[in-house]
């Protein structure tokens, strides 16, 4: 599926209660709790609050009225185009209190796990085809060796796992972000999913950036939403974790007060990218972190556990990018390495690319290049560190020179003397401190 031609197929809105695949009692209770907590009283307000089409909401209201849990208020609501208002009866209030004891969850009706599975297939990360042009555009601000994109492209398009390794300060994190930016399409993220009567919240504004909702055209005779609003249309998500990542962050999070679950990071990143930055800096050994991912990566499914201990499968549809400053052989055994599909070394620039980056940064920051200073940098300074260039150094050196110029009250410039002062801040001398 080429993302230029086909947009992700949207989840269709449910047409009736029987299509919902949720227990009627659960749906009715969520509606009652929502009316109680949000103080909404007309069918169209309730429909909006529980994210269901009006006719499906009306069916739920009718059931609750038959069971004497709701009654019509008898007043037509003038603000809402003369719609009938509804309120909880005494029986309705006591039923709502019981339901809140069981779970505080209210608002958007959850999507059953099996229904969500179908949507994951429609928008799978493995359907993505990224062209060289898209990757180049997304990485436009980085100066990268040509063969790097040739290796990255197929790796990203496979939607498997990638290990990026190499010395620090060469943009492994920027490259991970560039990969994210190259994925231009949108997917649908459920606000919550349901399994075995338990609600698991998935949509998280910190991880998911929602796309502007379509505005209904008021001139249309029938207002209709193009997709099931229990989902939020979003950019493909990116979760970035670093040294703080621990294995328990990959488990369901249970909130004992609300009696609901929150999806773990890898489930929130479904259809997108999960970046493990700085692998080897976590409290857990890298080998055990990778072992935790191995089955999900190979079988495209993950196993989560409820409070009761019951285990169940969820889709695992995520491009996992591991990034480390260590050599892979230092932190993994061969079995783990075999299971990571693509291993891409990200080295520092050669002298020519280093100079290109240096000139670009200087130009962008308004520091005129000076030949004598550059010769001094390349011939006197870099030989002291075995001529090892890194992508972060131009920005660091130029920012240091600008700071000195501002402090001294002179125009931005570079001179051999300024290079020396900037260089001194980039490395700490190995001196033994006398205690």
Task: Quick: pLDDT tens for 245-267.
Answer: 999 999 999 999 999 999 999 99
Question: What's the pLDDT tens digit per position in 196-205?
Answer: 999 999 999 9
**What span, in angstroms and rounded, lies between the C-alpha atoms of 363 and 253?**
48
CB 223 within 8 A of CB 337: no
Question: What's the pLDDT tens digit per position in 192-242?
Answer: 999 999 999 999 999 998 987 655 555 544 555 589 999 999 999 989 898
Q: In 161-203, where does DSSP find H-type helix?
A: 172-182
Q: What count of Cα atoms within 13 Å lies in the side-chain half-sphere of residue 6?
A: 11
**Could you tell me the pTM of the whole model?**
0.82
**What span, in angstroms and rounded, lies between the C-alpha atoms of 316 and 313?**
9
Name 133's Cβ contacts closer than 8 Å, sequence gap at least 6. none
**What span, in angstroms and rounded, lies between the C-alpha atoms of 330 and 326?**
7
**What span, in angstroms and rounded, lies between the C-alpha atoms of 273 and 257?**
31
Locate tokens 């709790």: which residue? 33
Closest-CA residue to 230 (of 121, 119, 85, 64): 119
């Amino acid at each position: 599926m080429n993302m230029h031609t086909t947009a992700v197929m949207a989840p269709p809105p449910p047409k009736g209660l029987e299509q919902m695949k949720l227990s009627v009692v659960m749906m009715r209770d969520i509606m009652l709790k929502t009316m109680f907590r949000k103080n909404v009283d007309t069918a169209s307000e309730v429909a909006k609050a529980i994210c269901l089409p009006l006719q499906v909401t009306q069916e739920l209201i009718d059931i609750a009225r038959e069971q004497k849990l709701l009654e019509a208020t008898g007043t037509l609501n003038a603000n809402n185009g003369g719609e009938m208002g509804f309120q909880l009866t005494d029986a309705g209030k006591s039923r709502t209190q019981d339901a809140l004891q069981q779970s505080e969850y209210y608002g958007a009706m959850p999507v059953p796990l099996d229904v969500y599975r179908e949507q994951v297939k429609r928008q799978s990360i493995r359907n993505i085809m990224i062209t060289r042009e898209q990757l180049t555009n997304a990485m436009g601000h980085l100066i990268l060796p040509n063969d790097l994109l040739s290796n990255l492209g197929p790796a990203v398009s496979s939607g498997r796992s990638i290990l990026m390794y190499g010395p620090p300060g060469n943009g492994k994190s920027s490259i991970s972000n560039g990969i994210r930016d190259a994925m231009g399409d949108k997917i649908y993220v459920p606000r919550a999913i349901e399994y075995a009567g338990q609600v698991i919240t998935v949509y998280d504004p910190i991880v998911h950036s929602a796309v502007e909702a379509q505005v209904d055209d008021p001139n249309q005779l029938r207002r209709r939403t193009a997709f099931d609003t229990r989902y939020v249309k979003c950019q493909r998500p990116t979760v970035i974790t670093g040294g703080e990542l621990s294995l328990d962050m990959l488990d369901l999070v249970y909130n004992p007060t609300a009696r609901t679950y929150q999806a773990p990071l890898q489930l929130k990143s479904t259809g997108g990218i999960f970046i493990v930055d700085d692998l080897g800096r976590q409290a857990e050994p890298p080998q055990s972190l990778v072992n935790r991912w191995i089955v999900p990566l190979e079988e495209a499914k993950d196993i989560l556990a409820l409070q009761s201990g019951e285990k169940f499968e969820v889709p695992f549809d995520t491009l996992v990018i591991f990034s480390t400053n260590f050599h892979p052989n230092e932190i993994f055994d061969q079995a783990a390495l075999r299971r990571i599909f693509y291993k891409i070394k990200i080295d520092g620039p050669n002298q020519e690319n280093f100079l290109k980056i240096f000139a670009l940064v200087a130009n962008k920051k308004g520091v005129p290049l000076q030949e004598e200073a550059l010769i001094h940098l390349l011939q006197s300074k870099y030989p002291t560190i075995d001529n090892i260039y890194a992508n972060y150094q131009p920005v660091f050196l130029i920012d240091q020179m600008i700071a000195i110029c501002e402090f001294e009250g002179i125009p931005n410039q570079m001179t051999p003397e300024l290079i020396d002062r900037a260089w001194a801040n980039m490395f700490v001398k190995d001196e033994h401190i006398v205690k």
